[in-house]
C-alpha cells in the first residue's frame, strides 16, 4: 500500500473532524475523497500533506510513518483549491520553484519545467504572469508546479470547484488523462459526486468524520452500503420496509409505501422480519401508460415489482424527463424516462395514469 491511514482521528477543540478513519490507497490509483462540506475529507487530505497533525492514529506513505515529518519533507505535492499560484512569479518560475529548492541543475530544471508545461498545455504561457491567466490556466500552473516535483502522491483539493461548468467538464477528462499519462497516485477531495464518479478509480464517501463506504464509483452507485451513501450518490426512492422472505436466490420485502411486494433477484443479509430499507433509482423504473397491457412482474411472483400511479409533475431535461408520480400506496416516486425519440410533446401531462415496474435486480435493500 502506498498510503495507509491507521485509526486516524483529528479534533479541533471539541469538534471531531475526522473520526477513527482507516484507509488504504494503492499505487497508481485515482482516489477520491467524497462527501458533503464539513465531512472531514479536506482535513484528511491536509493531514496527508502534513498541513494538519492527526490527534490520534498514524499515517504511512510508502511504509514510512509521517508523524513529525513536515510538509516540505513529504513525498506528496498538492494542488490547492485557490490554486495558490505565486502572483509575483511567471508561470515558468512558479513551476521551477520546487525544483530550485531541490537544487535540480539548471539544464535539467529547464527541461523538466518545459515538459510539465507541455503536459498541461501551457507551453506558450511560460513567461506570462498569473494575473494574465484565466482560472483554468492558473489551475494548470498549479498542477504543473506540483507534478514537476514527481511526487509519489498528488493531492487535489476541490480542483474543479472554481471553474465554470463547461471548463469543468473539459478538465474532468483532461485531469483523468494526465493521471493516466504520468501514472502518479492522485488523491482528490471533492463534494461533487459527478466529479468523483467520472474521474476516480475508487472513492471514499465520508460523512461527519467517518468513512461510509470505500468502493469503485460503480459499486458506490449500484451497491450502496447504507442509506447515506444511497441518498448522497445520485437520486433514489427510499422506502421503509420489512424483510419478508430471504432465500439464497431471492428475497422479498414489503413496504406500506407500495401496494405490491418488492422482489429482489438475489439473497440478502438480514433476519426475516427485520426492519430494512429498500431503494430504487429513478432510471431503473419503467413507466407504461395505464391503458397498455399491465406489466408482468418476475416469473416467480407476477404481482410484485409494479404499482399504478398518477403523474403529479414533470420536468423535461432534454435527454430525459423527470416525473414525480403519486402511487396508489400514497407515496411520491421519482422516475426518469429517457427521451429515445424526438417528440413534439416529450413530457406526459400531469394527471396521466401510469404503471410503474422494475426488474428484480433494480431495487437495493439496505440494513441501515
Partner 1 sequence: MTTARGISGGSRAAFWTVFAIPAVWMLAFFVVPLSIIWAYSFGRTLGLTEVVVTGTPDNYARVFDPVYLYIFAKSLVFAGATTAICLIIGFPYALVMTFASTRAKILLLLAIMLPFWTNLLVRTYALMAVMRTEGWVNEAFGVIGLGPFEMLHTNFAVVTGLVYVHLPFIVLPLFSTLDRLDRSLIEASLDLGAGHLRTIFQVVIPVVWPGILSAVLLCFIPALGSYLTPDLLGGPDSQMIASVIERQFKRANDWPFGAALSFMLMYLTLAAMAWRALAERRAAVRDLR
| Contact call for residue 78 and partner 1 (CB under 8 A) | yes
- Compare residues 49 and 220 and give the one whose CB is closer to partner 1: 49
| Contact call for residue 87 and partner 1 (CB under 8 A) | yes
- Compare residues 11 and 254 and give the one whose CB is closer to partner 1: 11
* Nearest approach, Cβ of residue 84 and partner 1 (Å): 4
- Compare residues 103 and 342 and give the one whose CB is closer to partner 1: 103
| Contact call for residue 138 and partner 1 (CB under 8 A) | no
Residue 53 neighbours by CB distance under 10 Å: 12
**How far apart, in whole angstroms, are the C-alpha atoms of residue 212 and residue 214?**
7
Residue 285 CA neighbour count, 13 Å, CB half: 29
| Contact call for residue 88 and partner 1 (CB under 8 A) | yes
Measured on CA atoms in the order 62, 68, 72, 76, is the torsion positive or negative?
Answer: positive
Q: How many chain residues interact with partner 1 (CB under 8 A)?
A: 27
Which range, of 8-16, 30-38, 93-101, 205-213, touches partner 1 by CB under 8 A? 93-101
Residue corresponding to grid cell 426475516: 272
- Compare residues 59 and 264 and give the one whose CB is closer to partner 1: 59
C-alpha cell at 352: 396521466
- Compare residues 77 and 137 and give the one whose CB is closer to partner 1: 77
| Contact call for residue 84 and partner 1 (CB under 8 A) | yes
| Contact call for residue 82 and partner 1 (CB under 8 A) | yes
Distances (CA, A) of 99 to 110, 112, 183, 198, 227: 9, 9, 20, 32, 47
Residue 302 neighbours by CB distance under 10 Å: 13
Q: Which of 146, 229, 325, 347 binds partner 1 (CB under 8 A)?
A: 146
| Contact call for residue 124 and partner 1 (CB under 8 A) | no
Residue 318 neighbours by CB distance under 10 Å: 7
Q: Which of 15, 63, 68, 72 binds partner 1 (CB under 8 A)?
A: 72
**How far apart, in whole angstroms, are the C-alpha atoms of residue 221 and residue 217?**
6
Q: Which residues contact 155 (CB under 8 A, 6 or more apart)?
A: 45, 48, 49, 76, 77, 78, 79, 187, 188, 189
* Nearest approach, Cβ of residue 90 and partner 1 (Å): 11
Which range, of 10-18, 73-81, 158-166, 212-220, touches partner 1 by CB under 8 A? 73-81
Phi then psi dihedrals of residue 307, to 5 deg: -155, 140
Q: Which residues contact 141 (CB under 8 A, 6 or more apart)?
A: 83, 85, 91, 94, 95, 120, 122, 130, 133
| Contact call for residue 135 and partner 1 (CB under 8 A) | no
Which range, of 80-88, 117-125, 263-271, 329-337, touches partner 1 by CB under 8 A? 80-88
Q: Angle 321-324-330 (CA atoms, 0-180°, nearest 5)?
A: 155
Which range, of 10-18, 98-106, 245-253, 304-312, touches partner 1 by CB under 8 A? 98-106
Q: Which of 26, 27, 67, 101 binds partner 1 (CB under 8 A)?
A: 101
* Nearest approach, Cβ of residue 87 and partner 1 (Å): 6
| Contact call for residue 278 and partner 1 (CB under 8 A) | no
8 A C-beta contact, residue 147 and residue 116: yes
| Contact call for residue 253 and partner 1 (CB under 8 A) | no
Which range, of 10-18, 65-73, 224-232, 334-342, touches partner 1 by CB under 8 A? 65-73
**How far apart, in whole angstroms, are the C-alpha atoms of residue 156 and residue 187?**
6
| Contact call for residue 70 and partner 1 (CB under 8 A) | yes
- DSSP-assigned letter for residue 249: S
* Nearest approach, Cβ of residue 261 and partner 1 (Å): 54
Q: Which of 35, 40, 54, 98 binds partner 1 (CB under 8 A)?
A: 98
C-alpha cell at 12: 479541533
What count of residues does the chain have? 368
Site residues for partner 1 per CB under 8 A: 49-51, 70-73, 76-78, 80-82, 84, 86-88, 97-98, 101-102, 129, 131, 142, 145-146, 149
Amino acid at each position: 500500500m502506498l498510503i495507509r491511514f491507521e485509526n486516524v482521528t483529528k479534533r479541533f477543540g471539541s469538534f471531531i473532524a475526522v473520526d477513527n478513519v482507516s484507509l488504504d490507497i494503492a499505487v497508481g490509483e485515482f482516489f477520491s475523497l467524497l462527501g458533503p462540506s464539513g465531512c472531514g475529507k479536506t482535513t484528511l487530505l491536509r493531514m496527508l500533506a502534513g498541513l494538519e497533525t492527526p490527534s490520534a492514529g498514524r499515517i504511512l506513505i510508502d511504509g514510512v510513518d509521517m508523524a513529525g515529518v513536515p510538509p516540505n519533507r513529504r513525498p506528496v505535492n498538492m494542488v490547492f483549491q485557490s490554486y495558490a499560484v505565486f502572483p509575483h512569479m511567471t508561470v515558468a518560475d512558479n513551476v521551477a520553484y520546487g525544483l530550485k529548492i531541490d537544487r535540480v541543475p539548471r539544464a535539467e530544471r529547464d527541461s523538466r519545467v518545459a515538459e510539465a508545461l507541455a503536459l498541461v498545455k501551457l507551453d506558450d504561457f511560460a513567461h506570462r504572469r498569473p494575473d494574465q491567466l484565466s482560472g483554468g490556466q492558473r489551475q494548470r500552473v498549479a498542477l504543473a508546479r506540483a507534478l514537476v516535483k514527481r511526487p509519489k502522491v498528488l493531492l487535489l483539493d476541490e480542483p474543479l470547484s472554481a471553474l465554470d461548468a463547461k471548463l469543468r467538464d473539459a478538465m474532468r477528462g483532461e485531469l483523468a488523462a494526465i493521471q493516466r499519462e504520468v501514472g502518479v497516485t492522485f488523491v482528490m477531495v471533492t463534494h461533487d459526486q459527478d466529479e468523483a464518479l467520472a474521474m476516480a478509480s475508487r472513492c471514499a464517501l465520508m460523512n461527519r468524520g467517518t468513512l461510509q463506504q470505500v468502493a469503485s464509483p460503480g459499486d458506490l452507485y449500484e451497491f450502496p452500503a447504507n442509506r447515506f451513501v444511497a441518498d448522497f450518490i445520485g437520486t433514489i426512492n427510499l422506502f421503509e420496509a420489512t424483510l419478508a422472505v430471504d432465500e439464497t436466490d431471492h428475497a422479498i420485502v414489503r413496504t406500506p409505501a407500495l401496494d405490491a411486494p418488492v422482489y429482489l433477484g438475489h439473497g440478502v443479509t438480514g433476519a426475516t422480519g427485520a426492519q430494512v430499507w429498500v431503494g430504487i433509482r429513478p432510471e431503473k423504473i419503467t413507466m407504461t401508460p395505464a391503458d397498455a397491457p399491465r406489466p408482468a412482474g418476475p416469473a416467480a411472483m407476477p404481482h410484485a415489482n409494479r404499482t399504478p400511479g398518477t403523474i403529479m409533475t414533470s420536468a423535461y431535461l432534454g435527454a430525459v424527463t423527470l416525473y414525480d408520480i403519486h402511487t396508489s400506496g400514497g407515496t411520491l416516486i421519482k422516475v426518469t424516462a429517457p427521451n429515445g425519440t424526438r417528440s413534439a410533446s416529450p413530457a406526459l401531462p400531469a394527471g396521466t395514469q401510469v404503471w410503474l415496474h422494475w426488474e428484480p435486480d433494480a431495487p437495493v435493500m439496505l440494513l441501515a
